[in-house]
Each structure stands twice: as C-alpha cells, then as structure tokens.
Amino acid sequence: MSTLVPPSFDNKATTPSPSVTSTLHILQGTLDKKRGISKPEDDLWPEGYVWDIEDPVERRFCVQWLTHSIEWATKRSILVGDSDDWTWIMDTAAMQLAELCGKGASGKVKRSVKVWGPNAEELPGVIINEPSFVEADVGCQTWGSATLMARRISRHDIPVRQFSSCLELGSGTGLAGMVLARELQHVGGVVVMTDYLASLLDVLTASSRDNSVDDGTAQIRHLDWFEVAQRMQNAEAGVAAPKANYSDVTAQREATAGARQLDVAGMQHGFSLVVAADVLYELEHAKVIPILADYFLATSGKVTPRFVVTTPLRATHKKEVSAFEAEMAKIGSLRLVARDDTTLADDLSGWVERVGAAETEAITQTLTADANDTWRYRTYIFERC
C-alpha cells in the first residue's frame, strides 16, 4: 500500500530515506509504462507514493517534489559524504524531471510503440531508443511519419517481404526501419538503416538488439546525403548541405568513421526498396532526396524497385513538399504510382473498419493518443519504369 502523501525530506538524514527511494522507483515505473515499457521489478516498491501524473495539478506537484529531492540529495551528499545512493537520487530525479517537463529537456528514453499485423493481431511492441535533444536535435524524436509508415508495413498495406535489399534514408530513432527489419527477418532480407549523427547510429544499434533483430538483417551505417549529391555532380543544381542545427558535425564525422560508413560507391543501384519518413524539413533535403533515390534504387529486378516516402503536410513546409515533388518529376525513370493523405487516427480507424478488426483496448488507447496528432501525412510510392 502506498503512502497517502509524498514523503518529506529529513534534513538530518545520513542515508536516503526508503520512502523517497521507493517513490522514485514507482514514478520511474509509471513513466516507463506510459512509454509501453514494463519491467519485472515495477511491483517491488510498495511503500512509496504513487503519483497521478495524468492529473495536471498533481503533475505540477510532482515536478516540485522532484526539484526538492534533487536539492535535498545534493546538500546531504555534501554534508555527510558522497555515495552511490545520493547520486542515484540526484540522477534519477533529474531524468524524471526532464521527462515530465517535455522532450526538449529530456535525456535518453526507451519506449514501446504498438503495431498490428495483417490479420489485426497485435504484434510485440517495437522498442525505440530516443537520444536526448542535445545529442540529436530533431532526430531525438520519433515523428508521426515514421509511425504511419511502420503501421502500414506491419499490416502489409505496404508490402515489403518481396524486397531482398532495402535502404532507409534518415532513420532517426528507427521505428519504420525496425518494423521493416522485423518483416525482412522472416524472409532473409536485409535493411540498411542510415543516418548522419553518431548518437543516432548508437540508438539504432541498441534498438536492433532490443527488438532481437540480428546484425545480418539490420545493418546500421553512416550516410552523408550531400556526398552522394556531389558524386552525382549535382552541385550546380543548387544542392548544397544546409547549415546543421547541431553544433559540431566534424566530431560526428570522426565518430562514424570506419566500419559504420556506407559504401556509397559500391551500393549505387544496390537496393530494390528505398524508404524515408519525415525527411523534408529543409529545402536542401527536399532537393537531394530524389537524387539519393535515383542513385541507390535498383534499375531493374525480379520485383519492380520501389521508393516510398511519408511526410507531414506542415503549413510551414509547403515549399519543401513542392520542391520534392518537382524534383521527383524530373527523374524520368521513376514514376508515381500511388499517393494518399491521412491523419494517424483516420488511418488506424479506417484500417480497423476495413479489416473488421475488434476495437481492442490497445487500439482504443492508440486512437485516443492519435487524436492529439492533427497533422495530415502524405505517402508517395514511386516505381522504376
């Protein structure tokens, strides 16, 4: 049974009070479960306070309590001597405080994303490791485009098992790529997941391990898009690398040197499927993505090579979407075969109705969460011709 009020802080304590420690453990379990992560030890801390973080007033109270706990642990560790116990309180409370205050302030987190199979069966959650904002800027978040693409791949609305070699551009936290890898693992296919930042390559590697995807199926590689543009001699067409949002790309290049570099020269026309989700947030990206698709996508094969892109239709990024469509239209060997616009909620509810799936608790919870995402997302499918 939990205590009726949050534990107070004993300013004469020589060791952390068990009630404070238990409360932090319980809160961590609550935050983990909110992200779809459940751990065996979650029920081992019965004596702490259980915060109702869904209630705005109690959430603010929790933030104040966490702030106080950090101050208390810091002062006590100075006065009675530093120890792993005091450090644990400071570190744990700081991470929880950051998470409750928003993703922009938070550190690394692990969460589980729900997906369903073609027969409306709920599949094991896809474990995603998200780095901190400081480490990865916009790449720290799993965006709605990746969620939509992941759902459609897992449901076989976007069939992928016939493609033996796949490339993901701008994998980010890797949701779409992990679902793609899980599908290809059934048929011996390979997906090469790529990004620029070393921190993102690290979390992609961790997510592969968490999702039990073997190294042969999911290969994590560094890719500089604008290196490909230069190789294709398109610099005169106005394709130049944008100024990075992060501080030092030199260190990133050094961190990804060696085995994690994609063999750009050797992989020209090397993939039967190329996918990308939410990659059109810079005008330069909108111009270079078509070049990448044409460069990496196979020219022929037993299965017609495909390029699939999902992007949000943000009012602030209309010029990026228009530029992408205009540049794709210039590539004579790629033709648009499908395009649709939808919200996450409309896509999921439409699929439930189409396949006659029972609206389970998991689907209802997901639809409720989807209602908070009001973006419309556009999915393009191009084929070699």
The pLDDT tens digits for 25-55 are 999 998 888 888 877 665 677 678 999 888 8
Co-location of 197 and 293 in the same domain:
yes
In a domain, 136, yes or no: yes
Strand partners, 127: 112
In a domain, 113, yes or no: no
Helix (H, G, I), strand (E, B) or coil at 27: helix
Range list of β-strands (E), 134-214? 165-169, 190-195
In a domain, 13, yes or no: no
Rounded Cα distance between 106 and 100, Å, is 8
Rounded Cα distance between 187 and 192, Å, is 15
pLDDT > 80? residue 225: yes
Cα of 151 vs its chain's centroid, Å:
13
pLDDT > 90? residue 176: yes
Phi, psi of 352 (to 5 degrees): -55, -45
Cα of 71 vs its chain's centroid, Å:
33
What is the number of domains present in the chain?
2
Co-location of 272 and 379 in the same domain:
yes
User: Domain containing 93: what range?
Assistant: 18-101
In a domain, 44, yes or no: yes
Co-location of 293 and 349 in the same domain:
yes
Q: Are the C-beta atoms of 150 and 175 separated by less than 8 Å?
A: yes
Phi-psi bin for 212: left (phi > 0), alpha (psi -120 to 50), beta?
left
pLDDT > 70? residue 204: yes
What percent of the chain is predicted at pLDDT more than 90?
Answer: 58
Q: Are the C-beta atoms of 243 and 135 separated by less than 8 Å?
A: no
Q: Which stretch of DSSP H or E encloses residue 129?
A: strand 122-130
Model-level pTM?
Answer: 0.75
Rounded Cα distance between 295 and 333, Å, is 11
Helix (H, G, I), strand (E, B) or coil at 14: coil
Other Cβ atoms within 10 Å of 103 Cβ, number: 14
Last-in-domain residue among 81, 101, 121: 101
In a domain, 359, yes or no: yes
Q: What CATH number is given to the structural domain containing 174? A: 3.40.50.150
pLDDT > 80? residue 90: yes
Phi, psi of 83 (to 5 degrees): -155, 165
Other Cβ atoms within 10 Å of 105 Cβ, number: 13
Q: Greater confidence, 198 or 338?
A: 338
Q: What is the pLDDT of residue 255?
A: 54
